[in-house]
């Protein structure tokens, strides 16, 4: 009886199995070209190159460029793709060496990526061989600088779920018990005429009229009125308000910190004095400040029964980080997959975090001072929380990494543009797919098996440097030495055990049924139970 | 000796201040010969029972008519007691100081501890002297069990029975022992059954400045190599420079010319004083509440503890890889062969041999490669990280081993049958325990003190089904392959379970979720059906 379950339980070591996570879901493979393509993806060019792999040395292969990705296949091994990177990940393409450069592999292209890696391709020096590929790459990696549409507008994928339906402002406010006798819904910004960086539906204090709001708007930086969701308030004017400052640095400091982090982890990890080098990047320290700030906000809201107004200079960077993290701490709904999607949709996308400026989707201007890893830093904080409370989040690490990968990929419309106003103008919801469509159509992949649903429990992470860790599986994932480590065999094992338990429970139920059936028939009642007992026991 | 002479005050009213993960207890404090008891009365579950031997340092502070005693324990917990009465405070502090520093083994608590659930001597058959040999004999008859050391005459720190090449007689062993520091001649530590390579361990040869040789010692290693393969490597856990130094004082290493087939490799591992200092600095850094947090990582770096973890694991991997992938035989030793040597040989076995990763196999490994192999637990664990004054022989080698095992368990969460709790328990018991398992420095001393007949074994306690379940890894899944850990610095982590940070993490772990309901080999998830229905 147990034979069906036993092999699952014992047959193989998960830890040494190579777990190949396929990234090709939903891709069609064209047999002639033999490169995976999404519906709507078209091949532009291909070229023989030498990929200068920082871990395994030069590898000869062929690089394929489509309007969505860069794909590299090695001539030497037939193990599929060596590289398969959405062009949206590329921050910068540069020419390396000149026609007269000497030395092996000294002529080619250097590619800087937004996701903590760089790529180097060497090409043959004869006949300006890199000119075409440089031009194609520049054009399709930075379509917005070349008058071309982002790939999200060409993507023809189909998903069973529609991620655009995930967030409905009215519904979400209703879930929070709004409107009520203190707060009301306002359509004052319906056509974005009051504030372009705010959503069309807002919740505001009950007694403030739309006229009041318009007046307030002219006083706030970029007309961003306080809603549930620059300069600082003078105490005399704002009665009953307590002001506290959170010591968080500006977006330029964050960008610089991440650059330093990349320097010590890519391509090679700074081995001697690793921890001191990590410290000198200050990345974890910044994460700590953001978490500390969010804890203070959450604590004020939870303990003081007071409301908190959070803002920074423009109200779309720090503010989004702090409010969304505080909400994650206070409301268990946001720790579910859907809840987290709503949280991002509401506090980040809807309330006008300038994704286009911070990420630079399809823009060639990599040195733009508007770029900053604000959202990445938020996701790092979420990851830190999920490390400290491994059973509190419905989603797993793969979910967070997938979101970050698609923050850059331009495959979905979710993170495109700076405000709801701009998205409406570009008809993003009509013309592109939502990242949540893909994720919600394959939820099992992003589910944390350890999740135990607990309602109304506030989670306060410990924002001490002693308890913060570097998110190695994200920042150092390109290092092949790290990849030998298995992603998370515990998850798989746990799911197997859960399945096993379900099976046993089911079987026990069946036995109970048989048992009671036999008991009701008088002929079997005396012998059946005693025979069944050892039968059950042998399997454990 | 009467314990009562040392107890100046047996009783006082006291308050235990809450520390990380502790709750406040107010009640009567009693000092007995081996324990400090703080009871709120009526056997309350929050009662504090502290083995006085666990106390590493006592700090007292008096103000007015009361005082505070801070007890810093060997297992790294820190207890703060507020005591009523000035005289009581001073008397209790000095009683604790006196009782906790008693060195006599036979009056220590394990000789008085008589739990109802255990019988004395019931661990006798658990790991009999020939246990290891019987396992090797299943694979090959090239090795034999020698009792040349049956009365501890040949080597004071070795057990009575040892596994040696079959063709080597006891008289050769005795000669070889003369040529090795402390008499620790090369013996079999591990037989790798997949390819027949072997790992031996010993102490350094007494080569001296005039490069002495010993024909019997050479014969022994020649025979071992002939059984295990063609190529041998002497892994010296000291630097070449340290070996040169050792030669001046009569030590040394195997000369190439004298041992054909054996090559030499130096992998210096920290031991003794520097290792103890590193441990002390680590605990200081972890418990320093005033440490500016933007300096935490560099401070942690500066302790070098994780560097020691990395070096130990790297060396063990090197040995394991050499045996498994390249068919090389190893002889591992440093100077005495009782510290870094055992660290390397035991870790290499854990990496290579799935049998060592079970609950029973791990206990067997500890018994054979640490306890019977003569790691001087009493000296090394006399004090932990808090004790004042110059350390004598203290060194946290065993803790370093446990830390390395913890790193393995993190990287291979399914492959070890025991969980983190087991490693923490071993750490605590090595420093202060009601059981006799980690008492003394060698089998000889244990024999003289009659440890095995007069104290209980930790193993019998751990193997009771209730304990066993507590220390099991609920997601264990036997893994027949070698475990190759990553030793990159970003793959190694501080084992936080070992130190209590000023701000502990909230308790909500996967472990607690897992142990809740999962079937473990020993327990049935469902009660047997009631036959009366």
Interface of A with B in 436-455 (CB under 8 A): 450, 452
pLDDT, residue B229, reads: 76
A422 touches chain B (CB under 8 A): no
pTM as predicted: 0.84
For B366, counting Cβ atoms within 10 Å of its Cβ (0-12 exposed, 13-18 middle, 19+ buried), the class is: buried
* Rounded average pLDDT over A390-395: 92
Distances (CA, A) of B188 to A3, B152, B197, B344, B367: 41, 18, 11, 14, 15
Q: How far is CA B480 from CA B138, B346, B512, in A?
A: 18, 18, 27
Please check the confidence at residue A472 and state whether its pLDDT lies above 70. Answer: yes
Evaluate whether A383 touches A335 at the Cβ level (below 8 Å).
no
Task: Share the mean pLDDT of chain A.
Answer: 82
What are the phi and psi torsion angles at B200 (to 5°)? -110, 160
B399, B460, B474, B504 from B417: Cα distances, Å: 19, 17, 8, 27
**% of chain B exceeding 70 in pLDDT:** 91
Chain centroid to CA B449? 20
Q: Is the pLDDT of residue B278 over 90?
A: yes
Distance from CA of B242 to the nearest CA of A (A): 23
Q: Which residues of A179-211 are buried (b: 16+ CB within 10 A; e: fewer)?
A: beeebbebebbeebebbbbbbbbbbbeeebeee
Q: Which of A53, A113, A195, A312 is catalytic?
A: A312
Contact yes or no for A454/A398 (Cβ under 8 A)? no
Cα–Cα distance measured from residue A114 to residue A409, given in angstroms and rounded to the nearest whole number: 10
**Is pLDDT of B16 > 90?**
no
Tell me what pLDDT residue B350 has: 97
Residue B490 has pLDDT above 90, yes or no: no
Give me the residues paired with residue A47 across strands. A63
Do B387 and B432 meet the contact criterion of CB atoms below 8 Å apart?
no
The verdict on a CB contact (< 8 Å) between B294 and A392 is no
Residues of B in contact with A533 (CB under 8 A): 528-529, 531
**Predicted local distance difference test score (pLDDT) of residue B290:** 74
The CA-atom distances, in angstroms, between A384 and each of A299, A387, B203 are 18, 5, 47
Helices (H), A389-527: 397-409, 420-425, 428-431, 435-440, 472-475, 480-483, 489-520
Put simply, whether B297 touches A (Cβ < 8 Å) is yes
Q: Which of B189, B317, B333 is nearest to B251 (CA)?
A: B333
Q: What percent of chain A has pLDDT over 90?
A: 47
- Residue A242: predicted pLDDT: 54
pLDDT level of residue A311 (50, 70, 90 thresholds)? low
Average pLDDT score over residue span A16-38: 50
**Total length of chain A:** 540
**Looking at the complex, does the CB of residue B300 fall below 8 Å from at least one CB of chain A?**
yes
Q: Which helix (H) or strand (E) holds B60?
A: strand B55-63
- Which chain A residues have a beta carbon less than 8 Å from that of B504? 462
B514 in contact with chain A, both atoms CB, cutoff 8 A: yes
- A301-305, A439-443, B85-89: the lowest-pLDDT one: A301-305
Give the dihedral sign, CA B100/B48/B398/B304: negative
Answer yes or no: is pLDDT of B389 > 60.
Answer: yes
What DSSP string runs through B451-509? HHHHS--HHHHHTSHHHHHHHB-TT-----S-------GGG----GGGS--SSPPPS--
B377 class by beta-carbon count within 10 Å (0-12 exposed, 13-18 middle, 19+ buried): buried
Q: Which of A412, A419, A405, A415 is nearest to A435 (CA)?
A: A412
Residue B346's closest CA among B258, B405, B304?
A: B405
Q: How far apart are the first and last CA of chain A?
A: 12
CB–CB contacts below 8 A, A to B: 158
Helical spans, DSSP H, in A227-336: 251-265, 274-281, 283-303, 318-330
Phi-psi region of A183 (alpha: psi -120 to 50; beta: other; left: phi over 0): beta
Residue A283 pLDDT: 95
- Helix (H) / strand (E) containing B191: strand B187-192
Distance CA A253, CA B300 (A): 25
Query: Is residue A195 very low, low, confident or very high in pLDDT (cuts 50, 70, 90)?
Result: confident
CA distance B500 to chain A (A): 11
Question: Which pairs count as long-range contacts for A275-279, CB under 8 Å and 24+ apart, including other chains?
Answer: A275/B297, A275/B298, A275/B300, A275/B301, A275/B306, A275/B489, A276/B297, A276/B298, A276/B301, A276/B302, A278/A470, A278/B297, A279/B294, A279/B295, A279/B296, A279/B297, A279/B298, A279/B301
**What whole-number distance in Å separates Cα of residue A374 and Cα of residue A367?**
16
Chain A CB contacts of B496 below 8 Å: 466-467
Tell me B392's DSSP state: S
Distance CA A344, CA A342 (A): 5
Q: What is the mean pLDDT of chain B?
A: 87
The verdict on a CB contact (< 8 Å) between B411 and A485 is: yes
- The 10s digit of each residue's pLDDT in B98-131 is 999 888 999 999 999 998 888 887 777 778 878 8
Q: What would the two tokens of residue B49 be?
A: 């029972």
pLDDT at A79 over 70: no
For residue B509, give the nearest of A390, A465, A511 by CB distance: A390
Q: Is 0.85 exceeded by the ipTM?
A: no
- Given CB atoms, is B507 within the 8 Å cutoff of chain A? no
Q: How far apart are CA B44 and CA B252, in angstroms?
A: 59
**Neighbouring C-beta atoms of residue B211, cutoff 10 Å:** 11
Which residues of A, range 452-491, sit inside 8 Å of B by Cβ? 452, 459-462, 464-467, 469-470, 472, 476, 481-482, 484-485, 489-490
**Distance from A540 to chain B by nearest Cα, in Å?**
6
Measuring CA to CA, which residue among B390, B409, B382 is closest to residue B485?
B409
Q: In the numeric block, which tokens belong to residue B159?
A: 């057990």
Please check whether residue A313 is in contact with residue A230, taking contact to mean a CB–CB distance below 8 angstroms: yes
Cα B139 versus chain centre, distance: 29
Output the DSSP codes for B139-183. H-SSEEEE-TTTTSSS-TTS-S-EEEETT--HHHHHHHHHTBGGG
**How many Cα atoms are found within 13 Å in the side-chain-facing hemisphere of B332?**
33
| Tokens coding A325 | 């993290």
Q: Does A528 touch chain B (CB under 8 A)?
A: no
Written as one string, the DSSP assignment of A76-122 is: S--SSEEEEEEGGGEEEEEEES-TT--STT-SEEEEEESSS-EEEEE
Q: Quick check: helix, strand or coil at residue B48?
A: strand
pLDDT of residue B270: 92
Q: Which of B475, B480, B505 sits opposite A497 (nearest CB)?
A: B475
Q: Under an 8 A CB cutoff, do B413 and A15 touch?
A: yes
Contact between chains at B508 and A271 (C-beta distance less than 8 A) = no
pLDDT at B359: 94
Chain A residue closest in CA terms to B299: A276
pLDDT of A267: 87
The CA distance from A346 to A169, in Å, is 8
More confident call, B163 vs B227? B163
What was the pLDDT predicted at A11? 29
Does A466 contact B508 at a Cβ distance shorter than 8 Å? Answer: no
Q: Please name the residue of chain A whose CA is at the shortest distance from the CA of residue B501.
A: A466
Provide the residue count of chain B.
Answer: 533
Answer whether residue A105 shows pLDDT above 70: yes
Please tell me which of A207-211, A322-326, A498-502, B500-504 the model is most confident about, judged by mean pLDDT. Answer: A322-326
Residue B82: strand pairing partners: B15, B68
Q: Which of A230-234, B401-405, B479-483 has the lowest mean pLDDT?
A: A230-234
Mean pLDDT comparison of A331-340, A505-514, B281-290, highest-scoring range = A331-340
Q: Which residues of A touch B523 (CB under 8 A)?
A: 540
The pLDDT score that the predictor gives to residue B497 is: 66
Is position A312 annotated as part of the catalytic site? yes
Residue (of B77, B431, B486) closest to B309 by Cα position: B486
How many Å separate Cα A518 from the centre of its chain?
55
Reported as type and span, the H/E element at residue B30 is strand B25-31
CA distances from A480 to A15, A266, A329, A484, B356 (A): 17, 11, 35, 7, 29
pLDDT category at B404 given cuts 50, 70, 90 is very high
Pairing of strands A43-53, B162-165: unpaired
Beta bridge partners of residue A43, listed in sequence order? A66
Q: How far apart are CA B306 and CA A467, in angstroms?
A: 16
Q: Are B406 and B419 in contact (CB under 8 A)?
A: no
Q: For residue B78, what are the contacts with CB-CB under 8 A and spacing of at least 6? A: B19, B70, B71, B72, B287, B500
- B44 burial level (CB within 10 Å; 0-12, 13-18, 19+): exposed
Q: Which residues pair with B67 in a beta bridge?
A: B62, B83
Whole-number Å distance between alpha carbons of A63 and B513: 47
The full DSSP string for A319-340 is HHHHHHHHHHHH-GGGGSHHHH
The pLDDT-based confidence of B22 (bands split at 50, 70, 90) is low
Mutate to test the interface with A, among B306, B321, B410, B414 (most CBs of A within 10 A): B414
């Amino acid at each position: 009886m147990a034979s069906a379950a036993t092999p699952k339980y014992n047959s193989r070591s998960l830890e040494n199995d190579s777990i190949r996570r396929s990234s090709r879901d939903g891709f069609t493979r064209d047999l002639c070209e033999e490169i995976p393509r999404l519906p709507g993806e078209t091949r532009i060019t291909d070229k023989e190159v030498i990929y200068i792999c920082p871990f395994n040395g030069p590898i000869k292969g062929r690089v394929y460029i489509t309007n969505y990705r860069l794909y590299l296949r090695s001539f030497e091994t037939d193990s599929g793709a060596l590289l398969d990177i959405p062009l949206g990940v590329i921050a910068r393409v540069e020419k390396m060496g000149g026609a007269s450069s000497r030395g092996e592999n000294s002529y080619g292209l250097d590619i800087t990526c937004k996701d903590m890696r760089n790529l180097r391709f060497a090409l043959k020096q004869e006949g300006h061989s890199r000119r075409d590929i440089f031009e194609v790459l520049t054009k399709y990696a930075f379509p917005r600088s070349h008058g071309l549409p982002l790939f999200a507008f060409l993507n023809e994928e189909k998903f069973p779920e529609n991620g655009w339906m995930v967030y409905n402002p009215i519904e979400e406010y209703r879930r929070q018990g709004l409107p009520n006798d203190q707060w009301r819904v306002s359509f004052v910004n319906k056509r974005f005429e009051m504030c372009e960086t705010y959503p069309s539906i807002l919740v505001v204090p009950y007694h403030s009229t739309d006229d009041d709001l318009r007046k307030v708007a002219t006083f706030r930086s970029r007309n961003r009125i306080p809603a549930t969701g620059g300069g600082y308030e003078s105490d005399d004017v704002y009665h009953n308000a307590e002001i506290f400052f959170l010591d968080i640095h500006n977006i330029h400091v964050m960008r610089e910190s991440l650059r330093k982090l990349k320097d010590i982890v890519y391509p090679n990890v700074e081995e001697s004095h690793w921890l001191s080098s990590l410290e000198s990047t200050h990345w974890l320290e910044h994460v700590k400040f953001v978490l500390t700030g969010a804890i203070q906000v959450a604590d004020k809201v939870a303990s003081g029964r007071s409301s908190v107004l959070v803002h920074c200079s423009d109200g779309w960077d720090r503010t989004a980080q702090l409010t969304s993290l505080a909400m994650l701490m206070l409301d268990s709904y946001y720790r579910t997959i859907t809840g987290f999607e709503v949280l991002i949709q509401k506090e980040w996308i809807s309330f006008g975090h300038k994704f286009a400026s911070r990420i630079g989707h399809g823009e060639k201007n990599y040195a733009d001072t508007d770029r900053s890893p604000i959202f990445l830093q938020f996701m790092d904080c979420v990851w830190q929380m999920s490390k400290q409370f491994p059973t509190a989040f419905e989603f797993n690490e793969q979910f967070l990494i997938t979101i970050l990968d698609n923050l850059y990929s331009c495959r979905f419309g979710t993170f495109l543009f700076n405000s709801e106003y701009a998205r409406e103008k570009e008809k993003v919801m009509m013309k592109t797919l939502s990242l949540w469509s893909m994720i919600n159509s394959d939820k099992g992949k992003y589910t944390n098996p350890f999740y135990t649903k607990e309602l109304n429990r506030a989670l306060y992470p410990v924002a001490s440097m002693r308890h913060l860790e570097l998110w190695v599986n994200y920042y150092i994932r390109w290092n092949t030495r790290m990849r030998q480590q298995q992603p998370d065999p515990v998850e798989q094992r746990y799911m197997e055990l859960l399945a096993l338990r379900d099976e046993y429970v089911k079987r026990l139920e069946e036995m109970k049924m048989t048992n009671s059936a036999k008991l009701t028939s008088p002929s079997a009642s005396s012998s059946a139970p005693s025979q069944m007992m050892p039968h059950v026991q042998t399997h454990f | 000796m009467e314990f009562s002479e040392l107890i100046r005050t047996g009783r006082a009213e006291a308050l235990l201040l809450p520390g990380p993960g502790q709750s406040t207890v107010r009640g009567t404090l009693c000092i007995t010969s081996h324990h400090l008891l703080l009871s709120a009365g009526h056997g309350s579950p929050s009662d504090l029972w502290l083995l006085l031997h666990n106390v590493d340092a006592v700090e007292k502070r008096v103000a007015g008519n009361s005082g505070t005693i801070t007890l810093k324990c060997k297992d790294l917990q820190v207890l703060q007691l507020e005591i009523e009465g000035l005289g009581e405070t001073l008397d209790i502090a000095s009683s604790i100081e006196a009782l906790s520093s008693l060195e006599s083994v036979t009056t220590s608590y394990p000789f008085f501890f008589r739990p109802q659930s255990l019988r004395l001597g019931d661990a006798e058959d658990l790991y009999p002297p020939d246990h290891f040999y019987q396992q090797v004999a299943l694979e090959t008859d090239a090795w034999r069990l020698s009792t040349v050391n049956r009365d501890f005459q040949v080597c004071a720190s070795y057990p009575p029975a040892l596994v040696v090449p079959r063709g080597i007689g006891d008289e050769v062993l005795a000669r070889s022992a003369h040529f090795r520091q402390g008499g620790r001649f090369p013996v079999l530590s591990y037989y790798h059954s997949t390819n027949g390579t072997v790992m031996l361990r010993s102490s350094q040869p007494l080569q001296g400045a005039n490069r002495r040789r010993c024909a019997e010692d050479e014969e022994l290693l020649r025979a071992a190599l002939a059984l295990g393969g063609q190529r041998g490597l002497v892994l010296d856990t000291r630097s070449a420079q340290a070996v040169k130094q050792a030669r001046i004082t009569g030590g040394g290493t195997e000369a190439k010319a004298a041992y054909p087939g054996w090559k030499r490799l130096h992998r210096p591992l920290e031991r003794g004083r520097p290792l103890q200092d590193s441990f002390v600095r680590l605990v200081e850094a972890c418990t320093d509440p005033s440490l500016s947090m933007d300096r935490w990582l560099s401070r942690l770096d500066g302790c070098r503890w994780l560097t020691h973890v990395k070096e130990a694991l790297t060396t063990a991997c090197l040995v394991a890889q050499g045996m498994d992938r390249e068919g090389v035989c190893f002889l591992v030793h440093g100077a005495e062969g009782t510290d870094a040597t055992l660290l390397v040989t035991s870790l290499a076995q854990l990496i290579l041999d799935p049998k060592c990763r079970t609950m029973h196999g791990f206990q067997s490994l500890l018994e054979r490669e640490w306890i019977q192999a003569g790691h001087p637990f009493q000296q090394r664990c006399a004090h932990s990280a808090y004790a004042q004054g110059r350390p004598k022989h203290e060194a946290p080698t065993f803790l370093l081993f446990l830390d390395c095992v913890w790193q393995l368990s993190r990287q291979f969460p399914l492959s070890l049958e025991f969980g983190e709790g087991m490693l923490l328990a071993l750490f605590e018991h090595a420093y202060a325990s009601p059981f006799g398992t980690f008492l003394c420095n060698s089998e000889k001393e244990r024999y003289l003190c009659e440890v095995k007949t007069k104290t209980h074994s930790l193993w019998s306690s751990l193997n009771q089904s209730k304990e066993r379940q507590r220390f099991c890894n609920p997601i264990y899944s036997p893994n027949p392959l070698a475990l190759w850990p990553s030793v990159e610095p970003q793959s190694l982590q501080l084992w936080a379970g070992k130190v209590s940070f000023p701000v502990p993490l909230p308790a909500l772990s996967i472990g607690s979720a897992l142990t809740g309901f999962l079937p473990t080999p020993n327990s049935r998830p469902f009660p047997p059906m009631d036959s009366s229905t």
